[in-house]
Amino acid sequence: MSAMPPEVFSVFATLLGLAVGSFLNVAAWRIPLGKSVVRPGSACPGCGTPISPRDNIPVLSWILLRGRCRSCRCRISPVYPAVELATGLLFLAASVKTGMSPLFIHHALFLSLMVLSVRTDMEHFIILDQVSIGGAAAGLGLALLPGAPGLVPALTASGGAFLFFLLIRAFSAAYLKSRQVRVEAPQGFEEEEEDFQSGLGWGDVKLSACLGAFLGPGPGVVGLFLSFLLGALYGVGVLARGGKRTRPIPFGPFMALGGSIALFFGRGIWEAYRSIGF
């Protein structure tokens, strides 16, 4: 690779992130419905008019069209440009951390999987197997890149996280049962009712293996700890507002947030923690 000034690489990474974010929007919408992510091209969900390339520029098109479809003027959710912008900024941050090195691919892929988890879990209460299981496999495959955790540490962290989450799932299921708390399955999930009674869904358990594979042991522990901390803070906030919680809270977004923070700062946090002398 010829040397590219870091600023130029960061601009390239940001533009790539915006485009990937646009693809993640399509994937989050189509994969849960069992549709192809490649064909046909994007169309307006309101009127079905194919979206022309000039109206498909990440973030910019949405702003220029003031969040409406060009043909039918129906509103287009701000979630679309938000996901594109977030992915662009995450890729920018990754480029600053890794520079123009193969490790950028490792970071960019992990962050893309996290963005996808947030979208599908918040909207459909699912984390795709392509993200969790496929992500774990990809994380192990990229573990040998310079700066990545290495194969054996990644495998250890992945398996360890999975077993730890299985344990948490068993405990939370027993706890919910003993307190006779019933978690209401969201619409369309009546058949998966049992999964919601466990407090922690299967998707979360599988996603933990993906976090472990990408982060490795130290940052992996930081990532999972942050997930539970953020999830618990949110849960307490919800409970403090009163009322018995019956609707499930998707845990994927907390894992994505904890995992992303750990990707950037996990090693530093882990070493600071170790140096305290525990």
Site residues (vs Zn ion, CB under 5 A): 44, 46-47, 69, 71-72
Residue 167: CB atoms within 10 A of its CB come to 11
Provide, rounded to whole angstroms, the least separation between the CB of residue 45 and Zn ion. Answer: 8
If you write DSSP's letter for every residue of 87-127 in order, what string do you get? HHHHHHHHHHHH-SSTHHHHHHHHHHHHHHHHHHHHHHS--
Given the complex with Zn ion, which of 22 and 87 has the nearer CB atom? 22
Measured CA to CA, the distance from residue 188 to residue 185 in angstroms comes to 8
- The region that residue 67 occupies, defined by phi over 0 for left and psi between -120 and 50 for alpha, beta otherwise, is left
Q: Least separation, in Å, of the C-beta of 218 and Zn ion?
A: 49
Alpha-carbon dihedral sign for residues 166, 167, 170, 176: negative
Gap between the Cα atoms of 97 and 260, Å rounded: 13
Q: How far is the CB of 28 from Zn ion (least distance, A)?
A: 19
Alpha helices (H) along the chain: 6-30, 60-64, 79-98, 103-124, 129-141, 151-178, 193-196, 202-215, 217-240, 252-275
Please identify, using beta-carbon distances, which residue of 30 and 68 lies nearer to Zn ion: 68
Residue closer to Zn ion, measured from CB, 49 or 233: 49
Name the residue nearer to Zn ion (CB basis): 51 or 105. Answer: 51
Q: CB neighbours (10 Å) of residue 127?
A: 29
CB of 60 to Zn ion, least distance (A): 18
Nearest to 22 by CA among 110, 107, 116, 94: 116
Q: How far is the CB of 185 from Zn ion (least distance, A)?
A: 32
Supply 64's token pair.
Answer: 């220029």
Q: Which single residue is written with the structure tokens 């495998």?
A: 155
> Closest approach of Cβ 64 to Zn ion, in Å?
15
Q: Pick the closer one to Zn ion by CB: 71 or 101.
A: 71
- Give me the least distance between CB of 71 and Zn ion, in Å please: 5
d(CA 16, CA 233): 34
* Nearer of residues 28 and 44 to Zn ion, judged by Cβ: 44
**C-beta of 74 vs 170, nearer to Zn ion:** 74
